[in-house]
Amino acid sequence: MEAPIGIDGLVRETIDPLRDTMINTLYWQLGTDPYFGTATARLSDWYSHNTKVGPVWGRGREQFKTAGEWRIFKNAEALMERGTDPPTEIIKAGHQAGLDVFLSLRINDGHDSNGLDRPNGLPDGINDVNMSPQRHAHPEWLLGNEPEFQERANEGSRRQTRFAYNFAIPEVRQYVLALVTEAIRNYDLDGFDLDFCRQPSLFKKGEAANGGPLITQLLREIRAELDAKGKTAGRKLSLSVRVPPDIEANRKVGIDVRDWIKEGLVQIVVGGDPAGWNYRLPIESYLELTKGTDCKIIAQNLCAFREARGRSATVLFGEGSYYTTEQFRAVAAKHWQAGADGQYIWNQHFLKFSADDKFDRQHWKEIGDPATLEYKNKHYIVGPTGRGGTLPNILEGPGAKSETNVEIADKLEASIEKGIAVHAVLRLKVEQLTIADQITIKLNGVVLNRNSATVRLNYNDCWLDFEATRLLKNGSNILSIEVKERNPHVQAPLVLRSVEALVSY
């Protein structure tokens, strides 16, 4: 039988990569996550720590669907048989490494719907052996399979599931409170995090309007538990929440961040995106709420799941399956410029296992300080609508216009005046563009000479690189395109698919 990973292996894979970086706080999520080791990627509402409230993964099981599921059970069980468990060892090792360690709980994680149509997934739905025992025992606690939960209840929500808990039911709130309270009392933690991003659906249709006060009361009780533990520990323990970026959309589903900040219930608000990638989160609205308070606004950086950039980006520029150091830097720099109090790195830790054993964590040593980032190379990308940008823009024919904001945090003109060598390129991808199409491209009102651009073609994709060192300025830059004439032999419309700025020192 394979030997369990043990404490040394746990510390090696979780704490050691954080040493000699700018990371000062680790959020350790309570739960069970075999990722590629199970069809649903995560086992919702199953736990791999010493809990008497929630179900412990694998207890009483003779068979598992996959090796990954079994291995997670054996590793955690081996620690618990030795009188310890993963959170205990992570907190101890984290403190020894100079880190604050928060425990975190996903609120209504939706991964238990992932495998419904997959082999070895959840073909039996609520009756499947991998469904949480709580859901088996209390189907009346669930949101159900109503049509509205097949749609997005919140602009930031990626996934809805009929197996999510209905927080209008008192027993659901009591169960979640008991899970959190147990963890606060049992571990030497520095704070607790509630992750609402993993599924911001808490109530059935028509109940969300009255649901906000229920969730706020839940946070009050958690805040009281943290205060009580803090008195014993002799230090203030923080309550953190990770929430989607739209304050009003959150409020409509019962996530009243405004009230939480106003009452002083939370000390950290992480502006996040449920799908993980967003090139510019609108954190200004959150920052406005924190004026005069001690609450900090932390901005989420790009995660492991990169935006699908298309074949041509891979063929022409060698883009891999995850973001580059320069792209991580660019997102962090924009959020620092917007006023963020810190950066949140989410779902990058497992890139070593899921994408590249030699994943470069260089940006972990840089993005925690805007001064360190200032003269580092960056690759800015304008996102799609709702993901930090307004793309794509379809240009149907003559007279069609588009306008795009290209935000950068670098101060190119000031760098040049200081004698610092810097170069900037504006890169566009315009689908269906040919030499017979006549378009006018302007950056901050200056017409760009298309004949001076470096042109790269890949099937229907046309990439244009323009020299822009003297044109791009700190903050917003307006890119405008107008179609004068179309190639009469091509039916497909022009599409501005990508707008980027590459800055190198």
Task: Report the 3 state secondary structure along 23-60.
Answer: CCEEEEECCEEEECCCCCEEECCCECCCCCCCCECCCC
Which H or E run includes 481?
strand 475-485
Retrieve residue 204's tokens: 């059935």
Q: How far apart are CA 484 and CA 93, in angstroms?
A: 63
Q: Measured in whole angstroms, how far is the alpha carbon of residue 191 from the centre of its chain?
A: 20
pLDDT at residue 301, as a whole number: 96
Q: For 82-202, where are the alpha helices, taking DSSP H only?
A: 86-96, 133-137, 170-186
Retrieve residue 360's tokens: 């470069």
pLDDT at residue 158, as a whole number: 37
Q: How far apart are CA 342 and CA 296, in angstroms?
A: 8
Mean per-residue pLDDT, 123-150: 78
Mapping DSSP to helix (H, G, I), strand (E, B) and coil, where does residue 20 land?
Answer: coil
pLDDT tens by residue, 197-227: 988 889 988 888 889 999 999 999 999 999 9
* pLDDT tier for residue 143 given thresholds of 50, 70 and 90: confident
**Locate tokens 């954080």: which residue?**
18
Q: Which domains does the chain have, with CATH numbers?
A: 6-274 (no CATH), 393-504 (2.60.120.260)
Residues 6+ apart with CB under 8 A from 147: none
pLDDT at residue 153, as a whole number: 39
* pLDDT tier for residue 309 given thresholds of 50, 70 and 90: confident
pLDDT tens by residue, 220-245: 999 999 999 999 999 999 999 999 98
pLDDT tens by residue, 314-358: 999 999 889 999 999 999 999 999 999 999 999 999 899 999 999
Strand partners, 465: 427, 454
pLDDT at residue 1, as a whole number: 43
Q: Measured in whole angstroms, how far is the alpha carbon of residue 200 from the centre of its chain?
A: 13
CA-closest candidate to residue 346, choices 87, 31, 27? 27
Which H or E run includes 394?
strand 393-395
Q: How far apart are CA 351 and CA 500, in angstroms?
A: 24
